[in-house]
Amino acid sequence: MKLTIVEYPNKKLKEKSKKIEKFDEELHKLLDAMYPIMMNTNGIGLAAIQVSHTKQILILNIPDENDEQSIENLLEIINPVITSKSGTTTYQEGCLSVPTFYEDIVRAESLSLNYQDRDGNTKTLEANGLLSIAIQHEVDHLNGILFIDKLSYSRRKKFEKEYKKMLKERKNSKKT
């Protein structure tokens, strides 16, 4: 399955993802195809909508204490529901769909999550730190929300200007 990352300002990223009802081979093929694209682009989290599939699927691979990612730490999360949140934390976030831009975003420090795995088994997860931040970032994707939607009016305006410039420079560098 050939997947490509959808980038802002593509309107696809604003769509709401649909609940998975069938835990079949098609789902497994999509999950299997999402993993290499996330790893090859140095990502730690990817939602299906970022590869044009409007489905409630996300994958996460949080680096360990040596800053390394391994497939043993891969989390495949289907139909996630955050059931509780507490505290606040700020982290400089980035997104594969908003390349070259990073910004401090305030989110809950810890959370509880209900979800299903690739076989439809129901799971719960308690998360804090980077895992909690990544879950919130990816669950936002499933609701059509990007981290840049959380910026103040002035910061968003600055972002739009910088991002337009980046896209123009990227286009010009491809010509030469």
Annotation marks residue 138 as catalytic = yes
- Smallest separation (angstroms) from ligand Y12 to the CB of 99: 3
**Buried b or exposed e, range 57-67, using 16+ CB within 10 angstroms:** bbbbbbeeeee
Minimal distance, residue 95 CB to Co ion, in Å: 3
Q: Name the active-site residue from 25, 109, 138, 160.
A: 138
Q: Residue 99 binds which one of Co ion, ligand Y12, none, with CB within 5 to 8 A depending on kind? A: ligand Y12
Do 6 and 52 touch, CB atoms closer than 8 A? Answer: yes
In angstroms, the CA 82 to CA 135 distance is 9
Q: Does residue 95 belong to the site contacting Co ion (CB under 5 A)?
A: yes
**Cα(148)–Cα(103) distance, integer angstroms:** 8
**Tokens describing residue 31:** 């999950």
Candidate ranges 10-18, 21-29, 92-100, 125-133; the one touching Co ion (CB under 5 A):
92-100
80 in contact with ligand Y12 (CB under 6 A): no
Q: Which is nearer to ligand Y12, 26 or 64 (CB)?
A: 64
What does the per-residue mask of binding to ligand Y12 show for 97-116, with x meaning CB under 6 A?
--xx----------------
CA dist 58 and 93 (Å) reads 17
Please list the active-site residues: 138
